[in-house]
Structure 1
Amino acid sequence: MSHTHNQEDSCCNSKAHSTPPHNHSHSHEDGDEHDHDHGGDPSSFKTYLPAIFTLGMLLIGIAFDHIFKVEVFKIIRPYWYIVAYLPVGIPVLKEVWETFKAGDFFTEFSLMSIATIGAFAIGEYPEGVTVMLFYTIGELFQMAAVNRAKRNISALLDVRADVASVLRNGKYESISPEQVAIGETIQIKAGEKIPLDGEMLSEKSSFNTAALTGESNPRTISKGESVLAGMLNVDLVIEMKVTKVFADSALSRILEMVQNATTRKAKTELFIRKFAKVYTPIVFFLALALVTIPILILGSEYQFQTWLYRALVFLVISCPCALVISIPLGYFGGIGAASAHGILFKGSNFLDLITKLNTVVMDKTGTLTKGVFMVQKVKSNIDEVEFLSLLIALEAKSTHPIAKAIVKYAGKDVIHAAENVEEISGMGLKGNVDGKQLLAGNARLLTRFNINFDVRINDTDDTVVFMAVDGKYVGYVLIADEIKEDAADAVKQLYENGIKQVVMLSGDKTSIVKNVANTLGIHSFFGDLLPEDKVARLEEIKSDKSNVVAFVGDGINDTPVLAISDIGIAMGAMGSDAAIETADVVIQTDQPSKIVTAIKIGKATRKVVIQNITLAFTVKALVLILGAGGIATMWEAVFADVGVALLAILNAVRIQKMKF
């Protein structure tokens, strides 16, 4: 209620790669990339067997070549290395075939295949095997790193209930949550997970909400209040009425956001993908030129094998794996690290953008304050019991925290029926109860309908809910909210982490907003705002093009401002559906301090990505020059390609181990 009451690519992508078995599903994103989804299980020893077998064969072969020098080995030498090559080479050759069929001829798979087969053609067997072996090891490292990030993210899946006990034909039967309809009654025993969103029918029970909010302390939920899928019932056997189908539950929305997070790419990631599509064919033709052009210059002194070897070295060095593996992996790691801290980024593009933030605009109620209201005082000109009975009849039609606080305070069932209830945005509610016209809301609501009341009441620092019956003022309720424990520290840390201005916008009256702002150290604040006023204020802030603005809110009223901000941050997975759907970042733990954590994770991710780009370009440029001049051998080429890729992967993995 607006019832403010004064208040993937041509090279390696970010998916898990592995050695065989390889399952290829070629999809086109943005029309120009192939996703190679490799189905290896990093926890399975079988995944590593091909690389272990090849490594053993390679080491034995090198030993016979340079230490034992057995004559018979010279005869079987080519076959020995071919057998060593096949376990790691066949999956890559299959990739070449798949990408060729899809019309993509210049990939790291084709570069690797040409380089290694060429090495075999000129008798450089150990080098050919080594290139493919280290490439496979790089894939295994990447797979392990990606799966570590995925574990952080998919831990949410563990909180999803597999069955629901639904009341049908007078008895409970266990079925899949997807088959339960809205309005049906389900039963949840102590220790079981809540399978669907619903309304509590039992008197009360305690719930562990850590899966949705990160809050470790149990929360008591009473009859008539909302219960969300993913919560854990820790107290009594309860019954609840289902209010949303499984696909629309809070938990399902969160899981969908997480699973879709990697589809929205950062600009750096998109650039590297496009770069690789242009860079790879250029490298291929440069290598071809390195073989053919010297014959025109050197004439009879030209040695084909020497220049072919240099071209093969050039191909291996120039493979863009380090860039196209480590950069998506860096962002993926950042999303995983954020998820482990209860922060859901809806795409790596927002990881990038949050590093440029300099202005944070925040809602008050439910964002900086707990949004858990307590009635402090009831004052009426009529019988108090009748006053509360009429008031809760109207407020029971609202889901606003203030409305819930009033209904809870009254502590009794609604005995009057409210009809034609209308929400007047930013002011309160209007409706008919037993033939009487009721208004319940803030001072603006009464002023709008020309109802006289004592304006001095509005000077209090608490939230005031006025009520009028048939055009006459009949009383008010004072309600207080509480500031969140980490709110002041969050504001302080925002300033310390490069945010130049923090602004608070609220529909609550200015005196309350000022008091909260002073307590938290916020210098700029605005109260008495309707939803459209919040939009106007935010647009005014955004009119300064140097401002990169995040808006943080939790209510349905915040949806317009979340939508127009550069980054919309929804506070709490328990917040309104509209706010969570509109936001770009969702903070599950409901803690303002997590905004700072999100900024730090974004900056750490960007730093790692820049480090990896710098490392890859520097080493490759240096070794390319040495390779073209015949100074660098295939061994240096392996380091420039796979070695740099491994270093970049290890660097990207650091994000998930950092403390924020």
Structure 2
Amino acid sequence: FTDSKLSKILEMVQDATARKSQTQLFISRFAKIYTPIVFALALAVCFVPYFFVDPYIFNVWFYRALVFLVISCPCALVVSIPLGYFGGIGLASRSGILFKGSNFLDVMTKIDTVVMDKTGTLTEGVFKVQEIVTKDIEEPYLVKLAAAIESQSTHPIGLAVVEHAGKDATKELTVSEVEEISGHGLKGTIDGKEVLAGNTKLMKKFNVDYPAEIDSIVYTIVVVAVDKKYKGHITIADKIKDDAVQAIKEMHALNIKTVMLSGDKQSVVDEVAKKLGIDNAYGDLLPEGKVEKVQALKNEGKHIAFVGDGVNDAPVVALADAGIAMGGLGSDATIETADIVIQNDQPSKIVTAIKIGKLTKQIVWQNIIMAMIVKLIVLGLGAGGIATLWEAVIADVGVALLAILNAVRIQKMKL
């Protein structure tokens, strides 16, 4: 159980309650300073009038000091503010979003740019073979070669080729020395022949000539070469997620810039970006290329949320102000690195996470302002001898209860 995904999720939830937001940390520090200051002021209310008021009646000023001390209790702030953040985390959890700390609720309120990976984040990540083109080789054998080497990878494109070939198609082939070249594809040996299966960048890397028209194909392709000779290519298509278009529209409605990064070729990326209405899209990127793009945006002063799912996305997730992982399709490394995990892989939940962050901050500041205004009024009345001790008790407890009820209210809200 200790190594299971459920135990890791439970551990993340426990960690989330330990990671405090900036507002919580401020209130905790404020309470430590506030309490002795208020106690000193209460003593001043009791004894300082001795030097200025005639006649000085100790019982009157002692009573006023007690009123001052009771109403100044910071419990409304110290209790309701953490409760507000817990409520935000609870609302997010019920929406299928796991925040790994209340500090990330605050971070989401500042996000002005959302950068997203393409495959598995905006698209289903479930590829299907559309077309197979061969040269000097039988089609079934080309598919077997591609499937045999792609079976050594967990990439969705490779899985599509393996599924198309069938699970028993590669049994008679001997595969060895398989090497995954990040952002390019796979290289290996099958029955003594060197086989390459990947994108056109892989072919260029190993100086394999291929037909020029391949570069103009919009869809994702797997180019296959045997002993550095082009033998054909397999065209594969992915499907855009149902709620992706609506998610991008909602981000734009919140004045959030959208950027898509992908290792796929630029023509594929441009096609998907056009369908979704994304502001900027960059293709042909290696993992380090994604890091460079995000770093460039950060250098411009942007507050960035990066959303990804693959193991290659983990460095970018760590770099972003808010790293978001797709929990269903996401790799363990990305989920571990991320600050926020979307359990059901829906892009629309990105907007939900931003809205929950803003809603939580709004309620927390409502409590702070309400508590401070009421306390300052009653403090003044108490020091002036107008408010009684019972009124101070009722005001203190009443404000605390109102603040707590307001904080709990967030868990009942619908987004």
TM bucket, shorter chain: over 0.9
In the alignment, is residue 349 of structure 1 matched against residue 107 of structure 2? no
Deviation at 1:526, TM superposition (A): 0.9
1:330 alignment partner AA: G
Distance 1:520 1:636 in 2: 59
Deviation at 1:535, TM superposition (A): 1.2
Q: Which residue of 1 aligns with 2:236?
A: 479
Q: Which residue of 2 aligns with 1:575?
A: 330
Q: 2:289 aligns with which of 533, 537, 540?
A: 533
What TM-score, normalized to structure 1? 0.61
Deviation at 1:268, TM superposition (A): 0.9
Q: 1:418 aligns with which of 175, 181, 205?
A: 175
Deviation at 1:306, TM superposition (A): 1.9
Distance 1:562 1:511 in 2: 25
Q: How does 1:456-471 map to 2 (within 5 A)?
A: 456-471=213-228
Q: 1:508 aligns with which of 250, 264, 277?
A: 264
Q: 1:495 aligns with which of 206, 227, 252?
A: 252
Q: Which residue of 2 aligns with 1:370?
A: 124
Q: Which residue of 2 aligns with 1:524?
A: 280
Higher Rg of the two aligned structures = 1
Distance 2:5 2:175 in 1: 29
Q: Secondary structure at the match of 1:252?
A: helix
Distance 2:24 2:51 in 1: 41
Distance 2:388 2:372 in 1: 19
Q: How does 1:182-581 map to 2 (within 5 A)?
A: 246-298=1-53, 301-381=55-135, 382-413=137-168, 414-415=170-171, 416-499=173-256, 501-545=257-301, 547-581=302-336
1:319 alignment partner AA: C
State the Cα deviation string for residues 585-606 of structure 1 (Å, max 9, x = none): 1111111111111111111101
Distance 1:625 1:401 in 2: 67
Report if the CA contact (8 A) 1:291-1:308 is conserved.
yes
Report if the CA contact (8 A) 1:376-1:480 is conserved.
yes
State the Cα deviation string for residues 182-206 of structure 1 (Å, max 9, x = none): xxxxxxxxxxxxxxxxxxxxxxxxx
Distance 2:50 2:278 in 1: 73
Deviation at 1:347, TM superposition (A): 0.9
Deviation at 1:251, TM superposition (A): 2.3
Distance 1:294 1:523 in 2: 67
Q: Secondary structure at the match of 1:247?
A: coil
2:10 alignment partner AA: L
Q: 1:626 aligns with which of 381, 390, 397?
A: 381
Q: Secondary structure at the match of 1:479?
A: strand
Distance 1:611 1:498 in 2: 24
Report if the CA contact (8 A) 2:120-2:329 is conserved.
no
Q: RMSD of aligned C-alpha atoms? A: 1.3
Which runs of structure 1 show a deviation greater than 6 angstroms over 4 or more consecutive aligned residues?
A: none
Count residues with an aligned counterpart: 412
Structure 2 residues without counterparts, runs of 5 or longer: none
State the Cα deviation string for residues 404-425 of structure 1 (Å, max 9, x = none): 1111111132312322211111
Deviation at 1:635, TM superposition (A): 1.9
Deviation at 1:456, TM superposition (A): 0.6
Report if the CA contact (8 A) 1:364-1:506 is conserved.
yes
Deviation at 1:656, TM superposition (A): 0.8
Distance 1:332 1:417 in 2: 55
Deviation at 1:470, TM superposition (A): 1.4
State the Cα deviation string for residues 556-595 of structure 1 (Å, max 9, x = none): 1111111111111112333111111111111111111111
Q: Which residue of 2 aligns with 1:101?
A: none
Deviation at 1:286, TM superposition (A): 1.5
Distance 1:266 1:536 in 2: 29
Distance 1:521 1:412 in 2: 38
Q: Which residue of 2 aligns with 1:116?
A: none
State the Cα deviation string for residues 142-192 of structure 1 (Å, max 9, x = none): xxxxxxxxxxxxxxxxxxxxxxxxxxxxxxxxxxxxxxxxxxxxxxxxxxx
Distance 2:313 2:53 in 1: 73
Distance 1:522 1:611 in 2: 35
Which structure has more relative contact order (CA 8 Å, sep 6+)? It is 2
In the alignment, is residue 586 of structure 1 matched against residue 356 of structure 2? no
Distance 1:443 1:254 in 2: 39
Q: 1:603 aligns with which of 358, 375, 378?
A: 358
Distance 1:430 1:658 in 2: 53
Q: Secondary structure at the match of 2:300?
A: coil
1:292 alignment partner AA: F
Identity of aligned residues (%): 62
Distance 1:351 1:296 in 2: 51
Report if the CA contact (8 A) 1:396-1:407 is conserved.
yes
Deviation at 1:293, TM superposition (A): 2.3
Distance 1:573 1:585 in 2: 13
